[in-house]
Amino acid sequence: MGAVLAIDLGTKKTGFAVADGLRLSITLLECPRIDGTSDKLLDHVAGLLDERDVDVLLLGWPLNMDGTGGPQTDYTQAFAERLRARFAGLEVVPYDERLTSKEAESRLREEGASFREMLKHRDSAAAAVLLQDWIESGEPR
């Protein structure tokens, strides 16, 4: 079983976190400021994949509180299709990301992060929350 790369897609900044193959540890990764429609973001993902043995791309799926989708869901769907096309050998799993950013901010505050550190790490911390929730829920696909 390979690692899992979690992606918290944003329009300006995207957060990444990775869980090892045994799902014992989750590590926050660099949070690049790259437009989600840019091929540079896919190149960044490719670089992350070159560094580790990943077999699942876990993609935060933005839903409204009532479970419906919106414009951000469409944006993420387009990115998911680009991921599947470029990384055909990997499974791309969409997963509900509601409230992950709020939980990430709360965790960073508890850890004593400064405002500047929160801004820098919030998106990758949200990807880590997404990944932890997915693992704890039995890795539903």
pTM of the model: 0.91
pLDDT tier at 115, thresholds 50, 70, 90:
confident
The burial of 59, by beta-carbon neighbours within 10 Å (0-12 exposed, 13-18 middle, 19 or more buried), is given as buried
pLDDT tier at 136, thresholds 50, 70, 90:
very high
Q: Who's near 5: CB < 8 A, 6+ residues apart?
A: 16, 17, 18, 45, 48, 49, 52, 54, 56, 57, 58
pLDDT at position 27 over 80: yes
pLDDT at position 119 over 80: no
Left (φ > 0), alpha (ψ -120 to 50) or beta: where does 98 sit? Answer: beta
**Per-residue pLDDT tens over the stretch 45-90:** 999 999 999 999 999 999 888 888 888 899 999 999 999 999 999 9
Domains, the chain: 3-136 (3.30.420.140)
- Mean predicted confidence (pLDDT) in 24-51: 92
